[in-house]
């Protein structure tokens, strides 16, 4: 597997733009005339790549594009109702980098912060009601989290630094699989389901690890205006949509191996300036991680995309047993 293939299905939004489409009657219906022009043909690989890069970044390489995800993390345990635990905010920034062969690299980085449900303040610690224990909250810094778009793609799943072992498939024409959503909007709906070796193994991380394997699913809906996609003057297209992730307990929750998991449910959107971020989120990022508000340099293309759990294993240490 070469590096370009590894990047096809990684990244929060890029995964949604590239993952396996959800099949439905709407998805298999005949596309409207607006899909085929006048600016790009969204039913072709070339048109899909053009749309994907404009949604993810900006064809004008002198410009950056920012995106946010805002939502709630919900706890799931057997024998009880689901419980909203805390909020979360994603800060991401991207810059396109066109290649001579017509493919596009997108230099991208993202951060995730967790928030108090009542105030929206960024959490530095949190009282875990499942344990009746105050735990230290750990921000997620994915730097870089690069993306790649090409007219022909090898459909690999995220590699996660070698933790996931994707099955190689023959190259296929790239498609955004747009469907009409009404009111002049089009969207693509995608999903990805993974089961792979955990970066945090229970023997070394007894409190942080949920077990030897990670089972993760993500579900994306990305919506844009069809008129924007067909406007030749728009080198970037603003989007909105939803993202849901089903994943093991976050390691800093210190839940260990008992049954249960969490669900992220959220909305995502993009904007052309830093003013799109919530003031508290932007202030936190500017104070602690100002570099995360600028797209990474081209040299970062050679760096690996690591999962947040893999980054945690490299930057954190196992917590001692809970005091009686």
51-75 residue pLDDT tens? 999 999 999 999 999 999 999 999 9
Q: For position 15, what pLDDT does the model report?
A: 52
The mean pLDDT value for 14-43 works out to 67
191 HSE (CA, 13 A, CB side)? 8
The Cα-based distances of 254 to 4, 5, 50, 134 in angstroms read 35, 34, 43, 10
Name the residue with higher pLDDT: 33 or 167: 33
The mean pLDDT value for 89-97 works out to 98
Return the domain boundaries, the chain: 3-315
Q: Is the peptide bond before 38 cis (omega within 30 degrees of 0)?
A: yes
Tell me whether residue 258 is exposed, middle or buried, using C-beta atoms within 10 angstroms of its C-beta: 0 to 12, 13 to 18, 19 or more. Answer: exposed
Inter-residue contact 74 to 262 (CB < 8 Å): yes
What is the reported pTM? Answer: 0.90
Confidence of residue 16 (pLDDT cuts 50, 70, 90): low
Residue 159 pLDDT more than 70?
A: no
CA proximity to 81, closest of 129, 123, 135: 129
pLDDT tens digits, one per residue of 176-193: 999 999 999 999 999 999
The mean pLDDT value for 74-90 works out to 98
Residue 81 pLDDT more than 60?
A: yes
CA proximity to 12, closest of 76, 70, 96: 70
Residue 37 pLDDT more than 80?
A: yes
**Rounded distance, CA 126 to CA 133, Å?**
8
Inter-residue contact 133 to 322 (CB < 8 Å): yes
Inter-residue contact 246 to 217 (CB < 8 Å): yes
């Amino acid at each position: 597997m070469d590096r370009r293939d590894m990047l096809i299905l990684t990244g929060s939004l890029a995964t949604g733009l590239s993952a396996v489409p959800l099949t439905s009657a709407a998805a298999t219906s005949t596309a409207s005339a607006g899909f085929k022009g006048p600016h790009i043909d969204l039913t072709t690989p070339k048109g899909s790549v053009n749309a994907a890069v404009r949604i993810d970044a900006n064809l004008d390489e002198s410009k950056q594009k920012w995106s946010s995800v805002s939502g709630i993390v919900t706890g799931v345990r057997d024998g009880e109702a689901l419980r909203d635990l805390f909020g979360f905010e994603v800060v991401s920034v991207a810059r396109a980098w066109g290649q001579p062969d017509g493919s596009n690299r997108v230099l991208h980085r993202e951060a995730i912060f967790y928030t108090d449900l009542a105030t929206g303040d960024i959490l530095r610690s949190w009282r875990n009601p499942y344990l009746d224990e105050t735990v230290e909250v750990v921000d997620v810094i994915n730097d870089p989290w690069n993306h790649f778009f090409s007219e022909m793609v090898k459909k690999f799943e995220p590699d996660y630094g070698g933790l996931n072992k994707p099955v190689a498939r023959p190259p296929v024409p790239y498609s955004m699989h747009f469907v009409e959503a009404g009111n002049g909007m089009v969207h693509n709906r995608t999903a990805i389901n993974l089961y792979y070796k955990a970066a945090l193994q229970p023997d070394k991380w007894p409190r942080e690890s949920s077990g030897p394997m990670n089972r993760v699913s993500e579900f994306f809906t990305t919506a844009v205006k069809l008129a924007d996609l067909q406007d030749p003057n728009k080198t970037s297209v603003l989007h909105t949509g939803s993202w849901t992730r089903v994943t093991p307990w976050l390691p800093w929750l210190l839940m260990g191996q008992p049954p249960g998991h969490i669900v992220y449910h959220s909305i995502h959107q993009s904007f052309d300036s830093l003013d799109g971020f919530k003031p508290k989120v932007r202030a936190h990022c500017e104070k602690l991680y100002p570099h995360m508000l600028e797209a990474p340099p081209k040299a970062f293309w050679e760096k690996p995309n690591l999962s947040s759990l893999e980054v945690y294993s490299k930057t954190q240490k196992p917590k001692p047993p809970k005091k009686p």
